[in-house]
Amino acid sequence: QVQLVQSGAEVKKPGASVKVSCKASGYTFTSYGISWVRQAPGQGLEWMGWISAYNGNTNYAQKLQGRVTMTTDTSTSTAYMELRSLRSDDTAVYYCARAGNPSLAVANNWFDPWGQGTLVTVSS
Amino acid sequence: SYVLTQPPSVSVAPGQTARITCGGNNIGSKSVHWYQQKPGQAPVLVVYDDSDRPSGIPERFSGSNSGNTATLTISRVEAGDEADYYCQVWDSSSDRVVFGGGTKLTVL
Non-local (6+) Cβ contacts of A103 within 8 A are: none
Please answer yes or no on whether A109 and B43 come within 8 Å at the CB atom. Answer: no
User: Which neighbouring-strand residues pair with B101?
Assistant: none
Return the percentage of chain A with pLDDT > 90, whole number.
93
Residues 6+ apart with CB under 8 A from A45: A37, A38, A39, B35, B43, B86, B88, B99, B102
* pLDDT tens-digit map of B20-61: 999 999 999 999 999 999 999 999 999 999 999 999 999 999
Position A101 pLDDT exceeds 90? no
Classify A6 as helix, strand or coil: strand
Out of A44, A50, A117, the one facing B99 most closely (by C-beta) is A44
Contact residues on chain B for A113, CB-CB shorter than 8 A: 42, 44-45
Mean pLDDT for all residues in chain A = 96
User: What is the rounded CA–CA span in Å between residue A49 and residue A34?
Assistant: 9
The closest CB to that of B99, out of A45, A59, A109, belongs to A45
Set of chain B residues whose Cβ sits within 8 Å of the Cβ of A97: 43
Contact of B14 with B77, CB cutoff 8 Å: yes
- A107 touching chain B per CB within 8 A: yes
| Chain A positions in Cβ-Cβ contact with residue B97 (cut-off 8 Å) | 35, 47, 50, 106
The DSSP secondary structure of A72-111, one letter per residue, reads EETTTTEEEEEE-S--GGG-EEEEEEEES-TTS-STT--E
- Chain A's closest residue to B99, CA to CA, is A45
Per-residue model confidence as pLDDT tens digits over A34-86: 999 999 999 999 999 999 999 999 999 999 999 999 999 999 999 999 999 99
DSSP state of B58: -
In a mutagenesis test of the A interface, which of B97, B98, B99, B104 is the best target, namely the one with the most A β-carbons within 10 Å?
Answer: B97
Contact status of A47 with chain B (Cβ, < 8 Å): yes
Mapped onto helix, strand or coil, the DSSP state of residue A60 is strand
Contact A44/B92, CB-based, under 8 Å? no
The rounded mean pLDDT for chain B is 97
